[in-house]
Amino acid sequence: MNRKYILAVMFMMVTALSLPVSAQDQWKDTDGNYINAHGGCVLQHEGTYYWFGEHRPAEGFSTQAGVNCYASANLKEWKHLGIALQVSEEAGSDIERGCIMERPKVIYNSKTRKFVMWFHLELKGQGYGPARTAVAVSERPEGPYHFIRSGRVNPGKWPLNLPKDARKKNWEDKKYQEWWTPDWHNAVEQGMLIQRDRKGGQMSRDMTLFVDDDGNAYHIYSSEENLTLHIAELSADTYRTVDGISVSFRVDTMRHRLYSRRGRPIG
Domain ranges of the chain: 1-151, 152-267
Q: What is the pTM of this model?
A: 0.85
Per-residue model confidence as pLDDT tens digits over 61-105: 899 999 999 999 999 999 999 999 999 999 999 999 999 999 999
Q: How confident is the model at residue 144 (pLDDT cuts 50, 70, 90)?
A: very high
Q: For residues 63 and 100, is the Cβ–Cβ distance under 8 A?
A: yes
- Tally Cβ neighbours within 10 Å of residue 194: 22
- Second-level CATH architecture of 1-151: 5 Propeller (2.115)
